[in-house]
Amino acid sequence: MRFIYQISVYLYYSAVRISSLFNPKAKAWVDGRKNPKWEKFDSQGKKVVWFHCASLGEFDIGIPLIEKWQQENPEDEIVVTFFSPSGMQNYQKRNLHLEHVFYLPLDTSKNAKVFVQTIQPNYVIFVKYEFWAFHLFEAKKYGAKIFSVNTLFRKNQLYFKWYASFYRTILKSFDHFFVQNKNSIDLLESIHITNATISGDIRFDRVFENKQKVTSSPLIGNWLQGEKAFIIGSSWPVDLKILCEYINSESFNQKVIIAPHEINENHIQEIEKVLKIQSIRFTDVKDEINQETQVLILNTIGHLTNLFQYGDVAYIGGGFTGKLHNILEPAVFGLPILFGPKHAQFPEAQLFIDKGFGFEVADVHDFKIKFDSVHRDKNEIESKLLQFMEGQIGVSVRILKQIQSN
């Protein structure tokens, strides 16, 4: 399996190289690894903490832990690596002070050895998943303490196949796993790994921090006139096809804010075509939004979190494609949440369903029934949801304390 792993890494690299000839993202991946900046890294004798994040989503998960480490240990050097260009290209938008952010080298034995010997990590923290074998092996040889945080395991992963002993060796590089649920604990124990703790989801800390930064919007407040909006976040075309049949009907009498997953011109035009009621793009708003306007389309990035405060019910997209977006963002504001049925890889969705905060939508008819039902009970749901969310705070503090005690 080790040989197969090595071959798969080289095949991936070859495929990306070919794709880079016509794909901008692949080109950024290749170009970003030329003349690597990490070669000039010098810890100057300071303790080094290396965080690895596959992409921007994992970085967002890790932010509360990184911030708390910086606050408690300002003398330590923080190194962050990304595999994907989306992380490298967008991490600065998170306003986190980081001096050492690099692309992770391709996972070969030679690359990993040079990288680890250069940065000389005392602690290595991989966020959620994407475990690179040779980098982990070299970090272990160097003597670093290695942790996985916010981890989720599934039965179909290679680690748990009888023939994949090499992949189980990768997991044995870790000193401790901080996992999200008991299923992950059970899977690890099935392969005789017991150094794991159910810590919860760091994203709860992240959404609470974001909520503290929310500011009011006179523009939205004046448009809503004290009423609440139905918030549709990270929508895909299939989501809006189901939602808009009811939204367009005369029986639907609430203003709507739509934040699509893609904000390119073609997608915005598709949304405008499916809407049969008056709408306006956020970028077309001048001084105020006409009271006759029923739908505001957010065709910009970065405003959705700030607008959940103006909603009473939310729909989060991606649940019809198996790529459900973050339902914790509206939840921290107490909004009951509807989403599509394909959410097996997102345990928080089933948790919310079980607790009566989340509601799975199957089709147009089901959406109308669920939406009307949630609206009738929204005050009771909001109260229970806010109480639940407040009980989840502090995951990153607990993880940090346990890591530093090792």
Residue 193 in any domain: the answer is yes
What CATH number does residue 245 fall under?
A: 3.40.50.2000
Per-residue buried b or exposed e for 61-95, using 16+ beta carbons within 10 Å of the residue's own CB: bbbbbbbbbeeeeeebbbbbbbbbbbbbebbeeee
CB 64 within 8 A of CB 205: yes
- Is residue 338 within 8 Å of residue 247, measured between CB atoms? no
Is 9 among the domain residues? no
- Say what the pLDDT of residue 129 is: 83
| CA end-to-end span of the chain | 31
Same domain, 193 and 299: no
Q: Is the same domain home to 43 and 182?
A: yes
Same domain, 186 and 242: no
Are 126 and 52 contacting, i.e. CB atoms less than 8 angstroms apart? yes
Residue 149: Cβ-neighbour burial (10 angstroms; 0-12, 13-18, 19+): buried
The single-letter DSSP state of residue 271 is: H
Statement to judge: residues 33 and 47 lie in one domain: yes
Q: Are 63 and 142 within one domain? A: yes
pLDDT along the chain (406 residues), means of 10: 91 95 94 94 96 94 95 96 93 90 97 98 95 98 97 94 94 97 96 96 94 94 96 95 95 96 92 95 94 95 92 97 95 98 94 97 96 95 97 94 88
Both 133 and 237 in a single domain? no
Q: Is residue 274 part of a domain?
A: yes
Do 204 and 242 belong to one domain? no
Does one domain contain both 372 and 398? no
Extended strands (E) in 270-402: 279-281, 295-297, 311-316, 337-339, 358-360
- What is d(CA 145, CA 400) in angstroms, rounded to the nearest whole number? 13
What is the reported pLDDT for 1? Answer: 82
**14 belongs to a structural domain:** no
Would you give the DSSP letter of residue 315?
E
How many structural domains does the chain have?
2
Q: What is the pTM of this model?
A: 0.88
Pairwise CA distance, residues 332 & 56, whole Å: 21
Q: What is the pLDDT of residue 140?
A: 98
Q: Angle, to 10 degrees, between the axis of helix 56-72 and the axis of helix 203-212?
A: 80
User: Residue 8 falls within a domain, yes or no?
Assistant: no
Instruction: Give the residue carrying structure tokens 């992950």.
Output: 184
**Residue carrying the six token digits 């034995």:** 109
Residue 248: give the domain boundaries: 217-390
In a domain, 5, yes or no: no
Q: Are residues 193 and 224 in the same domain?
A: no
Please check whether residue 16 lies inside any domain of the structure: no
